[in-house]
Structure 1
């Protein structure tokens, strides 16, 4: 198949987006290209913290335990595991991410510490 401007000064051979080489000299595998495209899509789906609102509340669990629940931050727009580790460090507690429900749970009542940590990152908090 010939290119539109083949043989003219405007002929620019296609380059690989991943390594930047001409496609005929590219050493990238299809799996590498697919992984790079998936990473680009994840980055495109991310929203800055200033455009998101986190809702913090507490829930009573069986046995009288309390859990701090953070809702409103979607797994598609955020890196929830990284955010959880920042919150765990700030609160000094354990927790988990439930990506299907788009929520973060922290063990114990840590609403104030979680609120301050999320505000420091840049999220709006309710």
Structure 2
């Protein structure tokens, strides 16, 4: 042990969080670093499903059609498009995400299926009428 900082974090050169290379050899562009930082921030803002409550309702639309609406899950705390894909696969139906209103719409009356799917994913479910 001839070096003063041998074996401490100061002995190791700092590394880039994105590419893993030492900072002196890093080839990441500023845009890549900004995208990676934004992704890390989104992941940090996510809430676990156990801490969220989804409100499920069935709304009647024009032409007598029905739509199952899931509210209470914020776009900032969830990956709503991924959740929509899982719900569509479970229901065998189409749907859409409206991130400005923080809601997911599934075509048809699928409240029971959506509720059981969300419960299986760990969300708390509260049906509304």
Scaled by the length of structure 2, what TM-score is found? 0.86
Determine the C-alpha separation between the residues in 2 that align with 1:53 and 1:106: 18
Structure 1 residue runs without a partner (length 5+):
1-7
In the TM superposition, what is the alpha-carbon distance from 1:84 to its structure 2 partner?
Answer: 0.4
* 1:57-89 deviation per Cα after TM superposition (whole angstroms, max 9, x unaligned): 011111111110000000000000110010011
Asked if residue 119 in structure 1 is aligned to residue 119 in structure 2, the reply is yes
Scaled by the length of structure 1, what TM-score is found? 0.88
Asked if residue 15 in structure 1 is aligned to residue 15 in structure 2, the reply is yes
> How many aligned residue pairs are there?
119
Determine the C-alpha separation between the residues in 1 that align with 2:89 and 2:25: 47
* 1:20-63 deviation per Cα after TM superposition (whole angstroms, max 9, x unaligned): 32222111111111111011001001111000000000111111
Moved over 3 A (4+): 8-14
Determine the C-alpha separation between the residues in 1 that align with 2:69 and 2:94: 12
Determine the C-alpha separation between the residues in 1 that align with 2:122 and 2:34: 32
